[in-house]
Structure 1
Amino acid sequence: MIVEDEVLVAFDNEHLLQEDGYEVVATVDSLADALRVLEEEEIHLVLSDIKLSGDGDGLDVARAARARNVPVLFVSGNCPVEARSLALGCLTKPYTDKILKAALDALDARLRGRPVKKLPPGLSLYDDV
């Protein structure tokens, strides 16, 4: 699931991920929509911006996802300190398609318990979660 309130970024990410073989279950721009999708769909990963439309933010999305054992990668221009306890990592905006793909590969390796050889630029992985 993609949680992003910048329409062009959301569209680009959705298109890129689908082209790369990922199934994007939903692309939403608010906490309320993200909560609904988390309840209704089987989600394997959430890509979430921190700032969102309406009430709530990406940190709230991450809390809800964590309660359902769904990993989160923040994609944001600024990840606050508390993001470390809620997500697997943070990819700093702006990023290229190539960097997003490399970040997802690194995240996949981490989730599968394999060593991550090299992090792409702008990606921080957290050990706290």
Structure 2
Amino acid sequence: MFLGLRRQEDGRPPRPNILTVLVVEDEPLVAFENEHALEQAGYRIAATVNDYDHAVRVIDEGGVDLVIADIGLHGDRSGLDVARHAAAQALPVLFVTGRRPIDAQSIAVGCLAKPYASRDLVAAIRVIDAVLRGGRRPKLPPGLMLFDAEG
């Protein structure tokens, strides 16, 4: 069972842990829509990239709070490889894909099924943020599957 979120000393809700997002997506229109929706929701975009090498460079520079990764990318390596690299650094990953990989649970916090609405992507990030902070899990948006042990 998840614990309730604590309020700050001034009574405001706690700040989210997820402020900066790396978008890893090979479809230009989807990448643009994700970037726009996340910026409108107040998130900072560390970068939007379409291949493993660029994603790893951004992750290694630091300052990323969440990686949103599609499975299929340009080049020989996939979003699974990006997720494995991020997981090795204890960086949470949300897959956004039409096909959930078999080993997703060991390298990501969840998977949002394509196609999804922009509002569902934002809601998915808020759910993941609450879970990572140990708070009570909000209602899941359509298409989101979490891989937490608590269910």
Q: Following superposition, which runs of at least 4 residues in structure 1 exceed 6 angstroms of deviation?
A: none
> What do residues 10-68 of structure 1 show as CA deviations (whole Å, max 9, x unaligned)?
01100111111100000000001101111123111000001101010011000100111
Find the counterpart in structure 2 of residue 78 from structure 1: 99
In structure 2, C-alpha distance between the alignment counterparts of 1:14 and 1:101, rounded to whole Å: 11
2-side partners of 1:39 and 1:27: how far apart?
Answer: 15
TM-score by length of 1: 0.95
Decide which of 88, 99, 109 is 1:88's aligned counterpart. Answer: 109
Does residue 104 (structure 1) correspond to residue 138 (structure 2)? The answer is: no
Asked whether 1:25 is paired with 2:46, we answer: yes
Structure with the higher fraction of residues in helix conformation: 1
Unaligned runs of 5+ in 2: 1-21
CA contact (8 A) 1:3 1:29 kept: yes
Q: Which amino acid aligns with 2:84?
A: R
Per the alignment, residue 55 of structure 1 pairs with 76
Give the corresponding residue for 1:16: 37
Letter aligned with residue 18 of structure 1: E
Q: Radius of gyration: which is bigger?
A: 2
Percent of residue pairs identical: 53
Partners of 1:102 and 1:39 in 2: how far apart? 27
* Higher-RCO chain (CA-CA 8 Å, sequence separation at least 6): 2
Residues in 2 aligned to 1:16 and 1:99: alpha-carbon distance in whole angstroms: 10
Moved more, 8-17 or 98-107: 98-107
The number of aligned residues is: 128
In structure 2, the CA distance between the partners of 1:41 and 1:117, relative to structure 1 (3 Å rule), is closer
**Distance in 2 separating the partners of 1:98 and 1:40:** 29
Determine the C-alpha separation between the residues in 2 that align with 1:103 and 1:37: 22
Which residue pairs with 1:45 in the alignment? 66
CA drift of 1:117 comes to 3.4
